[in-house]
A and B are shown apart, each in its own frame.
Chain A
Amino acid sequence: MLVKTVFAGFGGQGVLSMGLNLTQAAMMEGKHVTYLPSYGAEVRGGTANCTVAVSNEEIASPVASSPEFVIAMNLPSLVRFQNQIESGGVLLFDASLVETEVSRGDIEVVGIPATDLANKIGSPKSANMVMLGAFIKKSNLVSLDSVIEGLKSTFKGKPDLVTINEQALRTGYDLL
């Protein structure tokens, strides 16, 4: 089993932390995992993306030329990555921000109103965690518990942040 996921969006939407949280959880579950962010001049234009590969065995390449999952938090990311998704793969996007018609019939397209849901729970900044929750449910790559455990170590000494993010995660997770 080797699954590659691309998280993409505007800088500030927390796409890199989505990837990092998944990576952390996979590591805690003893899986092989790599995390590769976009870097350099590419990220200075305001968009960011990262690729996470999770596997039961050694990972050959941390790069995804045809990821199984793409999480698009904005329209440019959806446009850029939708054609790269492996046939049979899944595209998740923030339906609160992106109105789109995906032209491919060989992938599953899932719109999650992540930003609206995040606003609803009073934490507009945690749309990424809502999205991650939905992705965890959809992909079943790691358990929700592992992601929450990971959050606790990331936000050590900041219990408020753990609570907010956990709530957002569960909101997305319970949606699907």
Chain B
Amino acid sequence: MSIVTKVLMTGNAAIGEAAIRAGCQCYFGYPITPQNELTEHMAANLSRRKGCAFVQAESEIAAINMVYGASLAGVRVMTSSSSPGISLKQEGISYLAACELPAVIVNMSRGGPGLGSISASQSDYFQATRGGGHGDYRTPVLAPSSVQELADLTHRAFDLADKYLTPVLILGDGILGQMMEPVEFRHEAPEVPPVRSNALRGAKGRPSRIVKTFTSNPSTLEELNWSLFRRYQVIKQAEVTYDTFMVDDARLVVVAFGIAARIAKGAVKTARIEGLKVGLLRPVTLWPFPAAKIRKLAEDVKQFLVFEMNMGQMLEDVQLALEGSAEVSFYGRTGGVIPTPSEVLRVIARLYHQKGLHR
């Protein structure tokens, strides 16, 4: 049995543990359900580590600005929250993106708008993939669908952040955060995490350094925006990640991410048993989005079904990717309602027959 190295952990705690093992040195957070176990894991485990710091901030706004400060000082740093709190953090995320500062931000999202519900939801897709705050920027967005993947993608998030000098979002949801699954950690925490080379640590043996965006010259800012977008092009080329399941002979492909993709996969498996040629595409990076892959699939597949736990947000990216080359249907539940695999199966089967795909 390969099970011996696995431990049982909530998704929230697994992110925290993976972050520590990725060399995260500072964590700043504020309580909000359903992500509190992450904050608590860091309080228990990060605060006692040498050279590391944990602060329960007075607000989400303060927490993200502490992240900004720690990133300026050159360490790996993380914050986490859930939807309403992530809205508050947008100011700081914009500054991080503008000042080209790496950081990892976790959104274990919940039903909205407003105070909403504490149940799982995916209605922050637009906010996550369109920058979210003010100004012209994007952030890489990773969408895990299991506790193991939460841990693995946390590691990747820190690497991406450092590689591209950008804040990186992990977009999970209440279920992924709350549920426990066996998880294996493949890394040991570094003894002394390295300090980023361009950190602000005092002008010792070098000229003083300024980190800022504010300028009275718009063309200077335009150049910053251009340089950010040139980097975004590189990210789009190099970092698109997705999973496919049974798409080779599929007549209908379901596109879903995160917990919804997992539910959809269950439905697709049953559909296959019933003889329906259905496949699944699961974007792992929501930005950059696997548009080229979807376009490629459309060479053979003429019917897509986008399934999300919102009112149709990723749907727009699928439509943009397809450029009208295939038909797209949508099924969504929102507000924190968790659809069942059999519910999704019914939608798949109905669509399959309506469109005459069984013939």
Residues of A in contact with B (beta carbons under 8 Å apart):
20, 23-24, 27-30, 33-37, 39-42, 58-63, 65
Give min CB distance, A95 to chain B, whole Å. 29
Counting CB contacts under 8 A, is B318 at the interface?
Answer: no
Bound CA span A41–B265, Å:
30
A contact residues around B341 at 8 Å (CB): 60-61
Known contacts A24-B8, A60-B265; is-contact A30 B180 (Cβ 8 Å):
no
B180 touches A40 (CB 8 A): no
Counting CB contacts under 8 A, is B6 at the interface?
Answer: yes
Bound CA span A20–B180, Å:
9
A27 touches B8 (CB 8 A): yes
A58 touches B265 (CB 8 A): yes
A contact residues around B264 at 8 Å (CB): 60
Residues of B in contact with A (beta carbons under 8 Å apart):
1-3, 6, 8, 33-34, 118, 174-175, 178-182, 259, 262-267, 269, 338, 340-341
Known contacts A28-B3, A30-B3; is-contact A61 B181 (Cβ 8 Å):
no
Bound CA span A27–B1, Å:
11
Bound CA span A107–B105, Å:
46
A contact residues around B181 at 8 Å (CB): 33-35
Q: Which of A24, A39, A63, A65 contacts B33 (CB 8 A)?
A: A39
B33 touches A35 (CB 8 A): no
Q: Which of B3, B118, B179, B267 contacts A34 (CB 8 A)?
A: B179
Q: Which of B174, B181, B265 has the most CB of A within 10 A?
A: B181
Q: Which of A30, A34, A37 has the most CB of B within 10 A?
A: A34
Give min CB distance, A152 to chain B, whole Å. 14
A contact residues around B34 at 8 Å (CB): 39-40
For the complex of A and B, 8 pairs with smallest distance between CB atoms: A60-B266, A35-B180, A40-B118, A40-B33, A36-B179, A60-B341, A27-B182, A62-B179
A-B contact pairs, 23 of them (CB 8 A): A24-B8, A27-B6, A27-B8, A27-B182, A28-B3, A34-B181, A35-B179, A35-B181, A36-B179, A36-B180, A37-B178, A40-B33, A40-B118, A41-B33, A42-B118, A58-B262, A59-B262, A59-B266, A60-B267, A61-B340, A62-B175, A62-B179, A65-B340
B contact residues around A29 at 8 Å (CB): 3
Bound CA span A72–B159, Å:
46
B180 touches A63 (CB 8 A): no
A23 touches B266 (CB 8 A): no
A contact residues around B269 at 8 Å (CB): 60
Closest chain B residue to A66 by CB distance? B340
A35 touches B3 (CB 8 A): no
A61 touches B266 (CB 8 A): yes
Bound CA span A54–B174, Å:
20
A contact residues around B259 at 8 Å (CB): 61
Bound CA span A172–B174, Å:
34
Give min CB distance, A1 to chain B, whole Å. 13
Give min CB distance, B80 to chain A, whole Å. 15
Give min CB distance, A60 to chain B, whole Å. 2
Bound CA span A46–B36, Å:
19
A contact residues around B3 at 8 Å (CB): 27-30
Bound CA span A28–B182, Å:
9
Q: Which of B1, B2, B8, B174 contacts A35 (CB 8 A)?
A: B8
Question: What 17 new A-B contacts, CB under 8 Å, besides A27-B3, A30-B3?
Answer: A23-B8, A28-B3, A30-B2, A34-B180, A34-B181, A35-B179, A35-B181, A36-B180, A40-B33, A40-B34, A42-B118, A58-B265, A60-B262, A61-B259, A61-B266, A61-B340, A63-B338
Give min CB distance, B10 to chain A, whole Å. 8
B contact residues around A39 at 8 Å (CB): 33-34, 118, 174, 178
Closest chain A residue to B119 by CB distance? A40
Bound CA span A59–B3, Å:
17
Give min CB distance, A36 to chain B, whole Å. 4
Bound CA span A27–B262, Å:
19
Closest chain B residue to A65 by CB distance? B340
Q: Which of B2, B264, B266 has the most CB of A within 10 A?
A: B266
A contact residues around B118 at 8 Å (CB): 39-42
Bound CA span A40–B262, Å:
23
Give min CB distance, A30 to chain B, whole Å. 5
Give min CB distance, A77 to chain B, whole Å. 19
Q: Which of A24, A28, A37, A61 contacts B338 (CB 8 A)?
A: A61
Give min CB distance, B57 to chain A, whole Å. 21
Bound CA span A41–B110, Å:
13
